[in-house]
Structure 1
Amino acid sequence: MSKESISKVYLILEKIEYIEQIVDNNGGIVKSLEDSVTLRPAILMHLTAIAEQFNKLKKDHADDILSAFDDKDVKGMYDVRTYIAHEYEGVNLSIVEWIIRNGLPKFKKQCTEIINSSK
């Protein structure tokens, strides 16, 4: 695993933790997503950044890292990024909520395992 690839995993983990902080400090997932001025845009930007890091890992052919993730999960995250970027006003918040509740904890665990195994 290259240092550059591991740094992308660290960035994914950092963005997940930012989303967790937003949600934890502002009354939960639903309440945070209801704030269309500050909190929702921040969450959506962090999700976009996570997807971009996965895309960079793919372009870098970091298969050793990507193999730790389910292909469908990574594709789903990139699809969400595309949807956020192109349909910003029409983002389905129930999908975003599902990702925060179910997808991000899984990614966080996988990122932590990758980081720990690289030390």
Structure 2
Amino acid sequence: MSQAAYVQNTHLLRTSMFDLWRRLRSLLEDQGLDPAATVLVNLFPDGGDHEFGQCIDEDGRVYSFDLVYDRETPNAAGKAVLRNWTDITDTWQHRSFPGEIANAFIWRPPSRKTVLPA
């Protein structure tokens, strides 16, 4: 049985050393997300120059975005940029792929936070 796309995507986001994944980690950090605690629900080609993505951050906020780069040019992924970064937390149930997002919420590992006494 194959793993769900969000499981595979999240593993790649957190561990892969390929340019695309390294760049995406950096771009997510620029948006204030921790790649080690983010679930990457979707990331797939959606036209010649970009990939469509959706992710869930450690606080349960849901975002959609386009990762833009020339997919035909070698090494272009290392210079990718985020476009159309949108917080869809309140509307994801009525957007693309609500089933995958719901399943990713169920699957996502609990965030690891340590609360120390004051």
TM-score by length of 1: 0.28
Which one has the bigger helix percentage?
A: 1
Of structures 1 and 2, the one with the larger relative CO (CA 8 A, separation 6+) is: 1
TM-score by length of 2: 0.28
